[in-house]
Amino acid sequence: MTRLGVLVSGNGSNLQALIDATATGVIPGQIAVVISNVPGVRALQRAEAAGIAAIALSHKQYASRRQFDAAVVEELRRYDVEWVVFAGFMRLVTPVLIDAFENRIINIHPSLLPAFPGVDAGRQALEYGVKVTGCTVHLVTQDMDSGPIIAQTPVVVEDDDTVDSLMQRMHAAEHETLVRVVQGVCEGRLAVERANARPKVSMRKR
């Protein structure tokens, strides 16, 4: 079974979807460790409740991003992690982490990238006035929110949406999309083709 490391910073509802899907066998993988850069968050409690190793590594304890990333890599290696999932991990990362798990890190973002990268993607979508937004799962590369796209799911924006109501439907879409992608990863169906500097990815059908 594929060994997964999940990186988080907050609530952990996407982590919960992964915990549930590994527990039921929908994802044929095992979450070996959950690491948060913020101590005391709900995501760590969710991991502990599921009997998964839960580690808080406060980024504030490290002098640089690279040193923090090196500590993360050390933990991921200690738990024999093969694939890394950023599930609400709110940190910019350096080549120290990206090169250690080259093309084996995925991120979930609450917009249809390349629209609305960065924080507050739901608010950005409402302020812009788009009628459809959605979520994106992509490979993590050096540039924030711009690695090769693996999967996207649309979410329709309603006229009376608030950030909260939109994000509620967004989260449902995220959970489904992330589980589907991680399932494919663990089933060995994610093909990464290094055509040029930007790898092309596709998910083979079952």
3-state secondary structure of 75: helix
81 near ligand GRF, judged by CB under 6 A = no
* Contact residue for ligand GRF among 31, 32, 73, 87 (CB under 6 A): 87
109 near ligand GRF, judged by CB under 6 A = yes
* Contact residue for ligand GRF among 54, 71, 166, 174 (CB under 6 A): 174
3-state secondary structure of 6: strand
Going by C-beta distance under 8 Å and a sequence separation of 6 or more, which residues neighbour residue 165?
A: 158
* Contact residue for ligand GRF among 5, 68, 79, 88 (CB under 6 A): 88
Q: Please confirm, yes or no, whether 109 is among the known catalytic residues.
A: yes
From the list 11-19, 28-36, 92-100, 146-154, the region that binds ligand GRF by CB under 6 A is 11-19
Going by C-beta distance under 8 Å and a sequence separation of 6 or more, which residues neighbour residue 150?
A: 106, 137, 138, 139, 181, 190, 201, 203
Task: Please say whether the beta carbons of 97 and 69 come within 8 A.
Answer: yes
Q: How far apart are CA 37 and CA 59, in angstroms?
A: 6
Catalytically annotated residue among 59, 109, 171, 175: 109
The mark string for 89-108 relative to ligand GRF (x by CB under 6 A, - otherwise) is -------------------x
14 near ligand GRF, judged by CB under 6 A = yes
Going by C-beta distance under 8 Å and a sequence separation of 6 or more, which residues neighbour residue 120?
A: none
Residue of closest CB approach to ligand GRF? 88
User: Could you list the residues that contact ligand GRF (CB under 6 A)?
Assistant: 10-15, 43, 87-88, 108-110, 174
Task: Please list the active-site residues.
Answer: 109
